[in-house]
Amino acid sequence: MGVLKRFEQRLEGLVNGTFAKVFKSEVQPVEIAGALQRECDNNATIWNRERTVVPNDFIVELSTPDYERLSPYSGQLGDELSGLVREYAKQQRYTFMGPIKVHLEKADDLDTGLYRVRSRTLASSTSQPQPPQGGPGRGQAPNAQQPARGGYGYP
């Protein structure tokens, strides 16, 4: 990741974190969806002209109040967010190494309205391609972002 991109992410993280602390608003699923799309864009790996691989395993870390509010819906929310990531990847012509999974976790170091997304690329356990965008392969590239207040811009 370039120096300018890291600087931009830190600056926006500081600004967004300040707003989240001042206004104490809760994280909304649409903010998480945007963060997952940015996570794909920021961690895309070009393999060849026809194949750009993006992470397929996402962990969304939430503050305790946000986690308690969203965790009863974690299964359905994870499925919905996975579908949104799949659609976005199709539009961007990204591919996955395996099935897409989104998990919610509680992070005690985050305040209400803040979240953090970690991702990695996990290979499928089968040798058959994952229709329509995945295929066999290997690799685990853990990635992490700073706490974010989503919605607009990069976290």
Is 47 part of any domain? Answer: yes
- More reliable by pLDDT, 70 or 140: 70
Residue 149 lies in a domain: no
pLDDT tier for residue 106 given thresholds of 50, 70 and 90: very high
Check whether 127 has a pLDDT greater than 50.
no
Range in 76-80, 125-129, 131-135 the model is least confident about: 131-135
What gap in Å lies between CA 153 and CA 94, rounded to an integer?
21
Tokens describing residue 8: 């931009």
Residue 37 lies in a domain: yes
Confidence of residue 53 (pLDDT cuts 50, 70, 90): very high
Q: Could you tell me the residue range of the domain that residue 28 belongs to? A: 3-144
Q: How many CB atoms lie within 10 A of CB 106?
A: 14
Q: How confident is the model at residue 128 (pLDDT cuts 50, 70, 90)?
A: very low
Region 100-114: what's the mean pLDDT? 96
Note whether residue 23 is domain-resident.
yes
* Average per-residue pLDDT for the chain: 78
State percent of the chain over pLDDT 70. Answer: 65
- The predicted model gives 40-67 an average pLDDT of 96
Give the DSSP per-residue string, the chain: --HHHHHHHHHHHHHHHHHHHHH-PPP-HHHHHHHHHHHHHHT-EEEETTEEE---EEEEEE-HHHHHHHGGGHHHHHHHHHHHHHHHHHHHTEEBSS--EEEEEE-TTPPTT-EEEEEE----SSSS--TTTB-S------EE---B--SSS--
- Give the domain CATH number at 53: 3.30.2320.60
Which residues lie across from 45 on neighbouring strands?
A: 53
Alpha carbon distance 74, 89 (integer Å): 22
Average pLDDT over residues 68-91: 96
103: left (phi over 0), alpha (psi -120 to 50) or beta: beta
Work out how many domains the chain is built from and give that number: 1
When pLDDT is averaged across residues 54-65 and rounded to a whole number, the result is 97
Instruction: Look at residue 154 and tell me if it is in a domain.
Output: no
Give a yes or no: residue 92 inside a domain.
yes
pLDDT tier at 142, thresholds 50, 70, 90: very low
Is the pLDDT confidence value at 152 over 60?
no
| 54: its two tokens | 């993006």
Q: Is residue 36 part of a domain?
A: yes
Categorize the per-residue pLDDT at 125 as very low, low, confident or very high, splitting at 50, 70 and 90. Answer: confident
